[in-house]
Structure 1
Amino acid sequence: MSRTRTKHTLLTALAALLSAALAALLWPSSAQAAPLPVTGDIGIHDPSMVATSGGYALYGSNNLLDARTSPDRAAWTNAGSAFTGPQDWWSAYSPEQSPWAPDVHLVDGTYYMYYAVSSFGSNTSAIGLATSETGLPGSFTDHGEVYSTNADSDHNAIDPYLLIDDDGTWWLAFGSWWTGIKMFQLDPATGMRAENSELHSLASAEGGIEGPALVKHGDYYYLFSSYGVCCQGTDSTYSIRVGRSESPTGPFTDANGANLLDGGGTTVLASDGRHIGPGGQSVLSDADGDVLVYHYYDGEDNGAAKLGLNLIDWSSGWPVVS
């Protein structure tokens, strides 16, 4: 190797180390922040929020995808469910016919909802797609299965999240436990998996990783995921962590330069007082900024799962909740 090339390699490595060190210094010492005040029917799990003509709609796991509506993002009312009844194909993946983890986006006047169908602890799972012209509960038309996994798969087809890139490319991130977070390209014409699209691996972690939310901000793609164990009330160990990349397919690294495929991830939000195990997150771009939407387990209400909202501050180049 020439001296010039060696010097260039050393300078590149030094620049990477300095960048990681600066990011670590800019990162707050605590990733704890109380959620914004919300009232009403705020019991929800794996929430996804979208703006509608009358305010906001919120969807979550179970009960045909739990629905809440609000005129102002603060006061919430139980509004039934996304679906009026189970779909025929669900029973192949969930004997309970209970859909989970919806992800809702408004795209060119149509609301797209990706969601999962499975049973707890199983990777015989599928991701479905439904659409609506209003985004309101009970208005969604199902379009069937987008992708599935089975007991022989090394990953799990749940917890979908849609990213539409600046160039119009559609991506679907998903995954829970097993070998972690995956992603493939969608066909914008159908919302289904693009033909021959590659399956990309984005993140993995011992001790559990799931529920990806992949968003673009500035020059970077940010991958938020839930690390740890959910669904155990006050014994839940969820925290929300993040990494970023210059490409939607990775590699994603955290504020210290650790690769998310090697267990990296910088904590955005962790347990704080009564707000235990925050996770199941999504991100809503709203008039007053980006909002982190998640559930937590209320330590002062028998561990009930409730809605959490925090505004995101991007001024450091990394998401910090306020």
Structure 2
Amino acid sequence: MKRHRLAVIVAAALLALLPTTASATAAYPDPQPVTGQQIIHDPTVIRLKSGGYVAYSTGGVIGARTSKDRVRWDDAGNAFAEPPSWWYEYNDTGDPWAPDISYRAGRYWLYYAVSSWGTNHSAIGAATSPTGLPGTWTDHGKVFTSETTDTWNAIDPALIRADGRLWMTFGSYWTGIRMVELDPRTGKAVEGTTVHHLATRPDAPYAVEGPYVVKHGRHYYLFASYDACCAGVNSTYKIRVARSTSVTGPYVDSKGTPMLAGGGDLLLAGHGRYIGTGGQSVFQDRGRDWLAYHYYDAEDNGTPKLGLNRLRWKANGWPVVL
């Protein structure tokens, strides 16, 4: 998510962005109060089978936070002690971006991207762990890659299981959001898989990234971050959503505009001190859906911090943020 990363935190005044779509409410709710280590970027969160929560993020060697109650978060180091050697094929510092954590087949799976700002010479990798905790991950190398000759960018991975098959959304700029099928045994892209196109913008540079798909009722919902991140209080990130009855699309908003034509209902945008809301993911906790994202704190020099909000599903199936 993120073309990137944790860069350019600029102190400046910014007016709150107002919602402009029919699906938006008159005002956005603030994130749930959290304490402890709040600094984070591109968070992915899961409730562990052992109890408590872990969040992974861009920064460090996939930065880790843990919590017992989803309110107080503690710094837990990094997923890896040091970068796997192959990461250096994609940047000089072995810097990973935008992880995604999930659980299946008795193991936790962590997907992540390695790339450099402004290029689509990128790769998505995967690791597994028996506990989901930092320091327990075994890396399994590349899952899917992109090169400068491709019209997509292999970063910002997120997994979804649908109809007994495993899928991965990804994408940032370079004509937007894509999806490929994964082999559930290896966790890697199926050989010769079709690269499905899910969302784009009608104008270059096609500023949509950070996809995340969830199933609710008979629909799949595609959440994505639009516009610019990573500029502190000058960030214009916002979260939009559309839905489809098929995991591979087409995804359309509540007005019927396809995401491939620039559609998407505005779910959450900057307001008050909470600037540039995006880099989102969705997780379940005791049967309820939660939206995790970062925002830039206008009252703390644009520092990126953790945002958590409940998701409620309206009678017509569309999500709203609580």
TM-score by length of 1: 0.90
Q: Does residue 164 of the first structure (1) align with residue 164 of the second (2)?
A: no
Residue aligned with 1:151, SS: coil
Is 1:147 aligned with 2:141?
no
Cα shift readout 1:196-232 (whole Å, capped 9, x = no counterpart): 2211000001351000001111100000000000000
Counterpart in the other structure of 2:265:
266
Tell me which protein shows more helix as a share of its residues.
1
Are 2:131 and 1:134 equivalent residues in the alignment? yes
Q: Secondary structure of the residue that 1:230 maps to in structure 2? A: coil
1:202 maps to which of 194, 198, 202: 198
CA distance in 1, matches of 2:146, 2:287: 39
Q: Percent identity?
A: 53
Specify the alignment match of 2:210 in structure 1: 211
Q: Does the CA contact (< 8 Å) of 1:243 and 1:260 recur in 2?
A: yes
Query: What are the Cα deviations for residues 285-312 of structure 1, in whole angstroms up to 9, with x where unaligned?
Result: 1115100000000000000000000000
Q: CA deviation at 1:113?
A: 0.6
Q: What SS does structure 2 have at the residue aligned with 1:251?
A: coil
Contact 1:65–1:82 (Cα < 8 Å) also in 2: yes
> Which of 113, 116, 132 is residue 110 of structure 2 equivalent to?
113
Question: C-alpha separation between the residues in 2 aligned to 1:68 and 1:116?
Answer: 19
The alignment status of 1:245 with 2:244, answered yes or no, reads: yes
Aligned partner of 1:36 in structure 2 is: 32
- d(CA) in 1 for partners of 2:306, 2:213: 20
Letter in 1 for 2:197: S
Residue 31 (structure 1) shift = 5.9
The answer as to 2:294 corresponding to 1:295 is: yes
Q: Give the C-alpha shift of residue 95 in structure 1.
A: 1.2
Give the whole-Å Cα distance in 1 for the aligned partners of 2:257 and 2:77. Answer: 42
Instruction: Indicate conservation of the 8 Å contact 1:31/1:268, yes or no.
Output: no
> Do the aligned partners of 2:24 and 2:267 also contact (CA within 8 Å) in 1?
no
Q: How far does the alpha carbon of each residue in 1:13-49 deviate from its partner, in whole angstroms, 9 at most, with x for none?
A: xxxxxxxxxxx86x34336110011110010000000
- 8 Å CA contact 2:24–2:266 kept in 1: the answer is no
Paired residue for 2:233?
A: 234
**Which residue is equivalent to 2:318?**
318
Please give the secondary structure, in 1, of the residue aligned with 2:169: strand
**Structure 2 Cα separation of the partners of residues 304 and 109 of structure 1:** 36
Sort the Cα spacing of 1:277 and 1:300 in 2 relative to 1 into closer, same or farther, 3 A: same
Structure 2 residues without counterparts, runs of 5 or longer: 1-20
Distance 1:180 1:280 in 2: 15
Q: Which structure's relative contact order is higher, taking Cα pairs within 8 Å and 6+ residues apart? A: 2
- CA distance in 1: counterparts of 2:24 and 2:256, whole angstroms: 16
Asked if the contact 2:61/2:82 (under 8 Å) is kept, the reply is yes
Contact 1:155 1:178 survives alignment (8 Å): yes
Give the count of matched residue pairs: 297
Say whether the 8 Å CA contact 1:115–1:158 is kept in structure 2. Answer: yes
Counterpart amino acid of 1:70? S
Q: Which amino acid aligns with 2:290?
A: V
CA contact (8 A) 1:31 1:321 kept: no
8 Å contact kept, 2:45–2:53: yes
Deviation per CA, 1:101-131: give whole Å up to 9, x if none.
0000011321001100011121111000000
- Which structure has the greater CA radius of gyration? 1
Secondary structure in structure 2 of the residue aligned to 1:97: coil
Work out whether residues 313 and 321 of structure 1, in 8 Å CA contact, stay in contact via their aligned partners in 2: yes
Which residue identity is paired with 1:224?
A: F
Residue of structure 2 equivalent to 1:3: none
CA apart distance, 1:315: 2.0
Rounded to whole Å, the distance in 2 between the matches of 1:60 and 1:254 is 28
Output the aligned Cα RMSD: 1.2
Distance 1:118 1:188 in 2: 25
SS in 2 for 1:280: strand
The whole-number CA distance in structure 1 between the counterparts of 2:104 and 2:214 is 15
